[in-house]
Structure 1
Amino acid sequence: MIVRFVRTDGRVEEARGAAGDRLLDLAQAYDLPLEGTCGGQMACSTCHVIVDPVDFARLPAASEEEEDMLDFAEGAVATSRLACQIVLDESLGELTVRVPAAARDARR
């Protein structure tokens, strides 16, 4: 499956992932600036991404815990998600996400 990461400067990085891959791991493998300070344990918001609205509607809903953590994400919007909580699935086909300009570690 193809994931398009839109960098803060507008450049698009296309990444290829497999079903079962976490979006955070894929982003880090492609050297994108998603910190994931907590190691993907949903204890920070440093892997916050903004999902394209069309793609957002096709993702499983965020858990209440993820929604709570997104309250701490810098620049969060209605289509924000934590990359550590998005698991790639063949049914998604392609996915486009924007990497925010800043991240804030909620644990600090």
Structure 2
Amino acid sequence: MAKITYIAFDGTPYEIEARDGTSVMENAVRNGVPGIEAECGGACACATCHVYVDEAWVAATGEPEPMEEDMLDFAQDVQPNSRLSCQIRVKPELDGLVVRIPERQG
């Protein structure tokens, strides 16, 4: 299990214990974290689970695959540390991960 902290646009933190192998998006939805809409259910077919990975965690979460990069074109306010949370798999190395949720989703 890894602890993930989601920081809502208003600054409210949500700490979640996440099982390895699940996605950052799945854990947000399952735990009612506001701002993660996940309209496609995690199929990388929308941009409504967009998050900003905290700078300290960018290397650990890795680079987006080409399909994810294409979908990020539909996200609002994309930054260099933008990721789709459905594409970040929880693993022990991500214990303590911090992601920020943008003001609005694609």
Secondary structure, in 3 states, of the residue corresponding to 1:58? helix
Deviation at 1:39, TM superposition (A): 1.3
1:26, 1:76 → 2: CA distance? 22
Root-mean-square deviation over aligned CA pairs: 0.9
Structure 2 alignment gaps of length 5 or more: none
Residue identity in the other structure for 1:29: R
How far off is 1:22 after superposition? 0.7
User: One-letter code of the match for 2:16?
Assistant: A
> Which 4+ residue blocks in structure 1 deviate beyond 6 angstroms?
none
Q: Partners in 1 of 2:88 and 2:82 — Cα distance?
A: 11
Alpha-carbon distance, 1:60 to partner: 2.5
TM-score by length of 1: 0.92
CA distance in 1, matches of 2:95, 2:68: 23
Counterpart of 2:37 in structure 1: which amino acid? E
- 1:86 aligned to which of 70, 88, 93: 88
Could you tell me which runs of 5 or more consecutive residues in structure 1 were left unpaired when the two chains were aligned: none
TM-score, with length taken from structure 2: 0.93
- Percent of aligned positions that are identical: 36
AA at the equivalent of 2:81: T
Corresponding residue of 1:8: 9
